[in-house]
Copies of this chain bind each other. A is one copy, B any other.
Amino acid sequence: MENIDKIDLQILKQLQENSNINIKELASKLFLTVTPVYERIKRLERDGYIMKYVALLDKKKMNLGMTVFCNVRLKEHAKNVGSNFVKDIVALPEIIECYNIAGDYDFMLKILVEDMSSYQDFVMNKLSTIENIGNTQSVFVMGEIKHSTALAI
């Protein structure tokens, strides 16, 4: 059905670093003309290798300079309890990521807020109102050493 070769990998590598590059320039980097590059990109989109194209914004400029990882333990682990929790989590825009994890806690949330008082407000008035949350542990981010959306391919 589908498979990707070295040229496809090069294209993906480029696009996940900068998706605004035009096909002509990308083609010349790969010593090709626009047609094969164009067709390969369309195929990679169709086959789901490329999921979407997005703009990455500056957190601090958008007043979301504080990152907190919040570990969450549920009270019970019944089937529908978890799915209700998930529904509530998805609805909260401050939660930018949510993982179901193995270990001491059930979920790990990545939360973006403006400052400490916004975080307090978030925990007090939003997170804590979610049913069936047992206890939570907040891990505060002091510095972001590395943050890439590009996969190592």
CB-CB < 8 A to A61: which residues of B? Answer: 47-49
Q: Mark A25-51, 1 if CB is under 8 A from B, else 0.
A: 000000000000000000000011111
Assembly stoichiometry (copies): 2
Chain B: minimal CB distance from A125 (Å)? 15
A134–B36 CA distance with the chains assembled, in angstroms: 50
State how many residues of chain A have any CB contact under 8 Å with chain B. Answer: 57
CB pair A56–B50 under 8 Å, yes or no, is yes
Q: Mark A127-153, 1 if CB is under 8 A from B, else 0.
A: 000000000000111111111111111
CB pair A15–B55 under 8 Å, yes or no, is yes
Is A7 positioned at the interface, with any CB of B under 8 Å from its CB?
no
Is A98 positioned at the interface, with any CB of B under 8 Å from its CB?
yes
CB pair B96–A141 under 8 Å, yes or no, is no
Give the residue name and chain of the B residue nearest to A96 (CB). Answer: B148
CB-CB < 8 A to A140: which residues of B? Answer: 101-103
Give the residue name and chain of the B residue nearest to A47 (CB). Answer: B61
CB-CB < 8 A to A144: which residues of B? Answer: 97-100
